Amino acid sequence: MKRSRIVGTGSYVPSRVVGNEEVAATLELDPDQIVALTGIRTRHWVEPGQASSDLAVVAGQRACEAAGLAPKSVEAILVSTTSPDSAFPSTACHVQRALGADSIMAFDLSASCSGFLYGLSTADVMIRSGHIRSCLVIAAEVKSQSLNVADKETAMLFGDGAGAVVVVQDDSVRPDASGILGVRLYADGSGHGLITIPAGGSRNPTRVETIRANEHMLRLRGSAVFRSAVRHLEQAVGDLLKEFGLEAGDLTRVIAHQANARILEQLRRRLGLSSDVLYSVIDRYGNTSSASLPIALDHAVRAQRVAAGDLVLLGAFGGGLTWATGLVRW
């Protein structure tokens, strides 16, 4: 039976580092308060003229280099983003052109902070079905362009960046072979308004009034999102472990969406994980939405915190509401 396997990871963040001192100045907060509330010390924001596709291209190149594949040899490019270069054409087509991967399938998908796992699941299904043999999955976000710097719920949290993986077909029949064991996806549209940019779409088009009301800026109901994230992810992780006959103690590494250090800690405690199992880089990069999970994964791989044979659990939660889990034998 065909299975898919991650053979390369990559990530990229803009060169501009934004510390808590700069963010706190517009929020009337002490920089240390931001650390206490979020666990974030720095984040990276784009320079003028940088777009999501620019970040995605570098992350994709690095993932291909790690996999030992030329970008033009992959058979599909999937880009998760909620901050596309433009409404259309897709950011993936910009990436495809820049990578020189002519004529292959390329498209965007939008599932907020869960988007990378939605993309990984799509690649896994297409490879298992025999439709393609390789796929570059990228998550790229430029959140700094939609932040109200005076909004305490969002301004301190978000950064920009991109993360990527190369997924290929693997025909090994060994039950303990490396590969994606399963990805499970969920959504609950009743929570649509918890994380949103209210204006700019067909329901509420851009007008002078929407601009004056800051309706093109990211809005987040922090407390409600916190509760929902912990509850849904705890349940989804438990269901995934039960499905595969595993316990939390069987996991070598857990890498979850880097939304907020307090969410990560609550999740760790509820799952009964030791502190060294949950991997995090949120202190350096903040919340980069769907890019946060693959950025953390790439850092873990390059720091040799993920090794061959490790059982790695992935989890994410975001607007929609959406959430997702994945289990990988590295």
Give catalytic status of residue 299 as yes or no: no
Q: What backbone torsions phi and psi does residue 224 show, to the nearest 5 degrees?
A: -65, -40
Give catalytic status of residue 135 as yes or no: no
Q: How many CB atoms lie within 10 A of CB 1?
A: 6
What gap in Å lies between CA 136 and CA 120, rounded to an integer? Answer: 9
Q: Which of 20, 44, 64, 113 is catalytic?
A: 113
Q: Which of 20, 257, 260, 299 is catalytic?
A: 257
What gap in Å lies between CA 60 and CA 78, rounded to an integer? Answer: 10
- Rg for the chain (alpha carbons), in Å? 19
Q: How many CB atoms lie within 10 A of CB 60?
A: 32
CA-to-CA separations, 208 to 10, 19, 126, 200, 293, in angstroms, rounded = 40, 33, 44, 11, 36
Q: Which of 44, 260, 287, 299 is catalytic?
A: 287
- CB-neighbour burial class of residue 176 (10 A; exposed 0-12, middle 13-18, buried 19+): exposed
Asked if 111 and 169 touch (Cβ cutoff 8 Å), the reply is no
> What tokens appear for 61 in the block?
């190149």
Please name the residues in contact with 295: beta carbons below 8 A apart, sequence gap of 6 or more. 11, 13, 161, 162, 163, 258, 281, 285, 288
Give catalytic status of residue 257 as yes or no: yes
Q: Is the Cα dihedral 21, 25, 27, 30 positive or negative?
A: positive
The residues carrying an active-site annotation are: 113, 257, 287
